[in-house]
Structure 1
């Protein structure tokens, strides 16, 4: 390898490392308060003692935490709340206590909406935290349940007395993530792609790809890849 080529690779690798720091810091700023609210929700649920927990009581408990997450001081959050495990409530099989949008409105499904029949346990943002006991970021995907927008959902498990009670979660629109991350990644002058665990693109400064694209191993040549901290995401430099 020539000296010039070695320098070019070193510069590109340094840009990749800086990109990982940028992405990791962005998601840490979301996940840290999410985990804090999850812990406090768990404590408040534990304080209910033997009282039967109803949908109304859960909504009252969760709302301040949802508004707190929506009022994130630096990162725009579209929706936030808590999704109850089946069997937690006395008057409903499960429940999504959720607030979203600029007006912080509570999400209410129309009577007999098909959304009411969705089993949250099948969804990645619920299933993975339940199985692993750790926060998880799911997406990008079209959120037909809540926002009907292209979205990323972060969720943290809520455990009460060793029992999984549900997840605290927040939604960030992909257009928000692109707006926050594209400029600092673009400034690194090396085309980079941020992908999730199934190689779906969240952010790209490589003109060949856009959010939502899937990078197929047989069609792309990955020169270098770096795992981000806190989340199951990687930053790729493509050949």
Structure 2
């Protein structure tokens, strides 16, 4: 009976985390659909979209940034080279300031500059492009000067089967962790949420901190522990129950 209860707790935990992740991706898919609509309208005008045509995206981004359950640092669309008429590379991106204002993020996209922000080789951009699947990347240090750890969610946008960019959002791990921990507390044993590297994103015990690498310990646990893969993305996240009572 204990084993059955424990399995149910782990399953419930995974379901709750999947729901939270799924809500983030739903908002991004809606934003991607807005982008496709703009591209469809501009095709009728026989010209490529330009930055002015992207102004309607702000409403969709605000819906993401105004989420009550998660505190998003930033959200927007990052475009493939050559998709816009008036610039080679472009991020239509907004972020929250420390006083909760929403403002556009300005980055250096001049490839000749030492401070060039080359997003074309970043996993949150390349993975959705290559796999056509949603992606979760991180945690990594943010772009906003707060030195917080960020988790990046992104989905690919295709138009006429051509990759035109990604819709993406950044969430601070500090904001995401409490929601994850509440779900993990449904498991009576130690439970952890891990990314593809085997690093801890959240845990239901103080024995583990976000960023800890647990891969070696997991190998010792596999005979008695349980692992559930989370929502289908190109980034492997899993919930792990260790055969150790939660303290």
TM-score interval for Structure 1 and Structure 2 normalised by the shorter chain: 0.7 to 0.9
Q: Deviations over 1:76-100 (max 9, x none)?
A: 3221100010111233221111111
Bigger Cα displacement from structure 2, 89-98 vs 157-166: 89-98
| Pair 1:54 & 2:50 matched | yes
Alignment length (residue pairs): 232
User: By how many angstroms is 1:145 displaced?
Assistant: 6.7
User: By how many angstroms is 1:189 displaced?
Assistant: 2.9
- What TM-score comes out, normalization by structure 1 length? 0.86
CA RMSD in angstroms comes to 2.5
2:227 — aligned with what? 225
Q: How does 1:5-154 map to 2 (within 5 A)?
A: 7-49=1-43, 50-58=46-54, 60-101=55-96, 102-109=100-107, 117-144=116-143, 148-154=147-153
- What TM-score comes out, normalization by structure 2 length? 0.83
Bigger Cα displacement from structure 2, 204-213 vs 14-23: 204-213
Ranges in structure 1 where 5+ consecutive residues have no aligned partner: 1-6
Provide closer, same or farther for how the CA distance between residues 158 and 210 of structure 1 changes in structure 2, counting only shifts above 3 A: same
Q: Deviations over 1:179-234 (max 9, x none)?
A: 21212322433220001122121111133211112222367533110011244310
User: By how many angstroms is 1:40 displaced?
Assistant: 2.0
* Residue aligned with 2:67, SS: coil
* Residue aligned with 1:221, SS: helix
Provide closer, same or farther for how the CA distance between residues 192 and 115 of structure 1 changes in structure 2, counting only shifts above 3 A: farther
